Amino acid sequence: MEQIKGGVCAAKGFKAFGIHAGIRKNKDKKDLALIVSETKATAAATYTQNLVKGAPLYVTKENLKDGYGQAIICNSGNANTCNANGIEIAEAMCDLVEKHTGIPKTDVVVASTGVIGQPLDITPIKNAMTDLASGLNYDGSNDAAEAIMTTDAKKKEIAFSFEIGGKLCKIGGIAKGSGMIHPNMATMLVFVTTDASITPKMLQKALSADILDSFNMISIDGDTSTNDMVSVLANGMAENPIIDTVGEDFDTFCKALSAVTTYLCRQIAKDGEGATKLLESRVHGAVDKENARIIAKSVICSSLFKAAMFGADANWGRILCAIGYSGAKCDINAVDVSLSSVAGKIDVCKNGSGVDFDEDEAKKILTEDEIIIDITFHEGNGEAKSWGCDLTYDYVKINGDYRT
């Protein structure tokens, strides 16, 4: 597998573009993105578990019920959630895609992100569609990635090439996510494209399994969004032998998908609202994988621990505290904890008790912008990773006036 350029346009047959349509007041901010495949593609998606869901999720779920799609349209600046005419607006966006690209409206993934509970006017989207559709190009991933951002400070896109059945395949993705992230499915909005040939059933199987170790293992602030969605389009233009069952080819595809999603997870966590540090919690030797996941995410979700990391304070007791209330099966009296970064590694806990360590050395390690928390048990083969960020003053500032 090799990292390549191109994002959602790396795979054969995909075009994308993004523009400022006027949904957002800031004219320097793009707010409408479009991604299309030259041919109909296998499609899969996962959606937020929040009972309050954005209207676009209902429309997308209906459009993809046959397992196929061909286009993705997404606006930022307005979530189209809790609106009386939300479904009508989401369907109108699909209609506009059909009108300007010829792609059937029932083959469109529609998504929105931004403020909840604000009416979304279709007029600026309608007026921008000619320019958006005519701008579609094979190098447009960067524009699309920018157009789906809200409070994100950085664009998030990646692509890889891999081989299946002697054919070169490519897969790429873009994501947005910075706040309101504590997923029970996915996180905010993620769009993945690939030219690999795979059946709808196997694509959904791959995605549903992947999110358990990727997007479900992120937390920025403990709030699960109303508009979370991950969608994948696979148009088969790489002409590999179709993946229709488990086996070596399916495993290869899953590894490529994981490479994309794991990269985007880390980028989302690192770009958390107000964040200065990426935190990666690694659990080793847990009873099983499920308990490892519970422990890893409990630590990354702890506000007290996140605040300590902001202050570069090796307050390891907060890690054990988070493990203790996680509900996981584990022997808390036999856990080892260490903290590391590019500046070094330091042990802070052995067998559930503190060990002497150099506070100045710990401070040096924790001042870096990527911190690894290694949590080791000796009870089984369960391993898991989770990602988050530190909790800073700026997080409160950003969300104190997010709407106004």
Domain ranges of the chain: 2-270, 278-400
Residues 199-249 pLDDT 10s: 999 999 999 999 999 988 987 766 666 778 899 999 999 999 999 999 999
**What is the per-residue pLDDT for 154?**
82
Q: How many CA atoms lie within 13 A of 122 on its CB side?
A: 15
Residues 113-168 pLDDT 10s: 988 888 999 999 999 999 999 999 999 999 999 999 987 778 899 999 999 999 99
| Distance between CA atoms of residues 211 and 378, nearest Å | 26
Residues 337-374 pLDDT 10s: 999 999 999 999 999 999 999 999 999 999 999 999 99
Task: Kindly name the residue from 113, 187, 224, 262 that is annotated as catalytic.
Answer: 187
Would the pLDDT of 181 be above 60?
Answer: no
Residues 35-89 pLDDT 10s: 999 999 999 999 987 888 889 999 999 999 999 999 999 999 999 998 899 999 9
**What is the per-residue pLDDT for 396?**
78
**What is the per-residue pLDDT for 178?**
61
Would the pLDDT of 196 be above 80?
Answer: yes
Contact by Cβ (8 Å): 82, 257: no
211 by Cβ neighbours in 10 Å (0-12 / 13-18 / 19+) ranks as buried
pTM above 0.85, yes or no: yes
User: How confident is residue 187, by pLDDT bands cut at 50, 70 and 90?
Assistant: very low
User: How confident is residue 404, by pLDDT bands cut at 50, 70 and 90?
Assistant: low
Residue type, 34: L
Phi and psi, residue 190, nearest 5°: -135, 130
How much is the average pLDDT of 368-397? 92
**What is the per-residue pLDDT for 52?**
83
CATH superfamily of 278-400: ArgJ beta chain, C-terminal domain (3.10.20.340)
Query: 2-270 has which fold?
Result: L-amino peptidase D-ALA esterase/amidase (3.60.70)
| Residue 123 bears catalytic tag | no
Contact by Cβ (8 Å): 226, 184: no
Residue with tokens 């099983």: 288
User: How confident is residue 278, by pLDDT bands cut at 50, 70 and 90?
Assistant: very high
User: How confident is residue 185, by pLDDT bands cut at 50, 70 and 90?
Assistant: very low
How much is the average pLDDT of 84-99? 97
31, two tokens: 């707010």
Residues 282-291 pLDDT 10s: 999 999 999 9
**What is the per-residue pLDDT for 382?**
96
| Distance between CA atoms of residues 204 and 192, nearest Å | 13
User: How confident is residue 269, by pLDDT bands cut at 50, 70 and 90?
Assistant: confident
2-270 and 278-400 share one fold:
no
The alpha carbon of 359 is separated from its chain's Cα centroid by a whole number of angstroms, namely: 35
Mean residue pLDDT of the chain comes to 92
How much is the average pLDDT of 82-103? 96
The alpha carbon of 20 is separated from its chain's Cα centroid by a whole number of angstroms, namely: 23
| Distance between CA atoms of residues 332 and 175, nearest Å | 37
How much is the average pLDDT of 182-187? 52
Percent of the chain exceeding pLDDT 70 equals 95
